[in-house]
């Protein structure tokens, strides 16, 4: 998915966690930019993201973000090596699970765009980045020991915040 992807009012409502009618009302009030395709409203994903306050990530999305921040740290030490590994993983993903094609194509575009685009997606809290990280091509960049250490630190840190 891209940030310019056009969504229906129903999809926009699901993204915002509100009713479809509320999305229509936002459009009609001029608070949410939209385009008309025939009689239907279409809303760009990036306009929805701009409308929402900083999102609170669910635990699994936050865990993935922690892991990808560590991957980003290794990525910057050897971008060509990490990109080569990511491309090989993307090929395997398509072979094993063809339904990942949308995510594979999105990651391929990011890899072509260069290291900055990849790093931005690895560390962003945007809905698009959260979704892409669910199908990451960076498996194997972290060693098992590094991954386990990050997961332990994440569990300790996030658990301590929930304790009285």
Q: Is 124 left (phi over 0), alpha (psi -120 to 50) or beta?
A: beta
C-beta separation of 44 from 33 below 8 A: yes
- In the sheet that holds 35-37, the strands lie side by side as 6-7, 40-44, 35-37
Q: What is the pLDDT along the chain (164 residues), one digit of tens a residue?
A: 444 589 999 998 888 777 899 999 999 999 999 999 999 999 998 888 777 755 577 888 899 999 999 999 999 999 999 999 999 999 999 999 888 899 999 999 999 999 999 999 999 888 788 889 999 999 999 999 999 999 999 999 887 554 44
Q: Given the DSSP bridges, would you call strands 40-44 and 35-37 parallel, antiparallel or unpaired?
A: antiparallel
Q: How many other β-carbons are positioned within 10 Å of the β-carbon of residue 52?
A: 12
Residue 38's pLDDT is what?
93
pTM of the full structure? 0.66
Give pLDDT, residue 162.
Answer: 45
Contact 128, 45 (CB under 8 A): yes
For residue 148, what is the enclosing H or E element? helix 144-162
């Amino acid at each position: 998915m891209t940030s310019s992807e056009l969504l229906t009012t129903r999809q926009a409502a699901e993204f915002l966690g509100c009713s479809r009618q509320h999305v229509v009302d936002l459009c009609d009030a001029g608070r949410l930019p939209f385009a008309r395709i025939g009689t239907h409203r279409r809303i760009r994903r990036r306009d929805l993201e701009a409308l929402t306050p900083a999102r609170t990530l669910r635990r699994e999305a936050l865990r993935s973000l922690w892991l990808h921040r560590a991957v980003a740290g290794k990525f910057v030490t050897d971008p060509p090596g990490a990109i080569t590994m990511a491309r090989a993983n993307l090929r395997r993903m398509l072979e094993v699970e063809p339904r990942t094609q949308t995510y594979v194509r999105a990651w391929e575009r990011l890899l072509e765009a260069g290291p900055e685009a990849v790093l931005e997606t690895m560390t962003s809290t945007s809905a698009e980045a959260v979704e892409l990280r669910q199908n990451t091509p960076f498996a194997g960049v972290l060693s098992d020991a590094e991954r386990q250490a990050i997961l332990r630190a994440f569990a300790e840190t996030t658990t301590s915040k929930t304790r009285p």
